[in-house]
Structure 1
Amino acid sequence: MASVLAATPASAQVSSEEKAEAVAKTSPSPSKSPSPKPKASPKKKKSTAKKSPTPPKKKKAKASSAKKKSKASSTPSPKKSRTPTPVPASEPSIAPSPTPLATLTPVPTVRPAISPGAIPQVEVEKSGFLGDQGYEPPPSPTPRRGWWFWSRPEVTYQYLSRSVRNEIDRAPVMRRRWQFIVVHNSGTRQGSARIFDYYHRHVRRMKNGLAYHFVIGNGTSTGDGQIEVGDRWRRQINGGHVHSDYLNNIALGICLVGDFNRGQPTRRQLEACEELINYLRKRCGKIDAHYAVVRPHREVNPPQWATDCPGDAFPYSWFRRFQE
């Protein structure tokens, strides 16, 4: 019995140990149960929540792709509208390009109205003097004062010296050639035929030098009213004083030294110029019963090369005395 009893407590002890082990075994089971506690489920929810925004991004991408597709779809529509645009076709029909040309056409019609007055008669004369017209005879020597009271008085000149008259008379003047006498100013305050010849020959590269046929001084480089004869008159070649080759061939040029935009020519210059013009008109002879026409440079130069020469301060009423 004692052994049984002794054995029984051992079994009882075993059973208690087993019970303890069972309890211990049962204790971890509840500890394992909290492992799948709802803490993991919120994590799963968070993961699901994290996963949930990703699809909307895809939707946005899809939306952006849809927008791109819509834009791509919209781009061809304006292309279609541009391709049939009849704007260029309508522009030529509406564009009034011919009308402004029609408005401009009257302008050239007005210009010829200015030129026909001078050019037609000049052209007729051009075809005439190219033929053999001969030469104007030199003027007869000035008569000397006679002893008798009925003899003609001697013609006296104040500015045309004998040497100047001799140079004018010796030149072989062709009949009907010199139809105009053009008056200029030098545009400088001083000068002479020699100075202007150097300037025209070396600066302006004019092979014949001095562009004028005559120069009248103002008292600076030469005497006031002193007349100088240029080489173009001696050789009877065309001038270089007008912006027209044809007019240079039929017009004599007289230059008065001075700038007549700032001041007027001297009295002696005007008197010397009048004396010279009257002598040249008789020397060149008449053309169709008229002497050579005397004009200022500004009235003879072509309109496309307008000039104010011989200056705004020049007394233009002075030209009325040469209307014959």
Structure 2
Amino acid sequence: MPKALLKDDFSNLLEYQQWLGQSWGNLSALNHHFQEHYTEWAVSSRIRGDRDWYGAGVTYRELADGITQYKDPELIERLYNKVAHELPADIVNRIKKRKLNFNALGLGVFSFDRAAMTLYRAKMPSGKMAVKTATKELFAWFPAETRDRHAVELFISCDAPGNMTADRMLYGGISAILIAELLINAGVKVRINIVIGSGIEAREKYVGCVVPVKGYDDPFDRNLAALLTSDPRFMRFDAFKGVIAAFDHFRMPTPAGMGLPMNAAQLKDMFEQSGYTKKSQAQHRYYFGGTFSEAAAIKDIERIIDDIARKLDT
């Protein structure tokens, strides 16, 4: 049976980075030799020799201080809009936005626009003229729907091969970002996690960290999601160091090649079959990883939307 060794007690990115800083400075003899690969001299040499590793214009100090903003926000918008434009309309419409209901009981927010549609002047018993509306249901609210019980949890692997460029790496997160926003607009509670780790023993064992990007009741930050799932600076500095720190946390030596990456299907098999997700509060879980093209991102989105749309109808 697959076995998952995961450090998952972080509340957010900041806690992960704080843990990483403390752990990195105290690596055991099993893994401390990896520290030499992340010294200022080693990282600066890598930056000069391979512009596509961290991305153009990166400095060691920028990496060492901790990445908190995605490098190219315009790239997020461009690719997001491109992928969204390519999605068939019937696929997007499978998950509709929550229906706004109106009532006359004062529940919700008063809608002046709705009242204005039927305004008229009426003479009062006192003889004075008054402006009234023929519409009685003037308060807008989102009623509780059965879909509120369909909580969804997303797990996104942020690993990418060394030959991937920044623009292709962004597709790894764009499908998850689109799906999250569609679900949130439909009134579905969504939790998003990034998974930082490596498979060993022919992927029968997985060692790493799970870091929450968004809790069920938290607002969604598209920039943060793109940073943690798709930015080569974060992946190849904070995330790679996190893999080493995770092996050290579980008193294991990190493999020379840092283990094996996991795509979406492999990550799903590992998490579900190992029993790790038994503690998940979500009725539905979806996995992302190994997506590096527009076509693959659209295929991911169509497949997951089709699945969740069927479940929302039950």
Provide the TM-score with structure 2 as the length reference: 0.25
Decide which structure has the larger Cα Rg and report it.
1
Greater RCO between the two (CA within 8 Å, min separation 6)? Answer: 2
Which structure shows the bigger proportion of residues in strand conformation? 2
Provide the TM-score with structure 1 as the length reference: 0.24
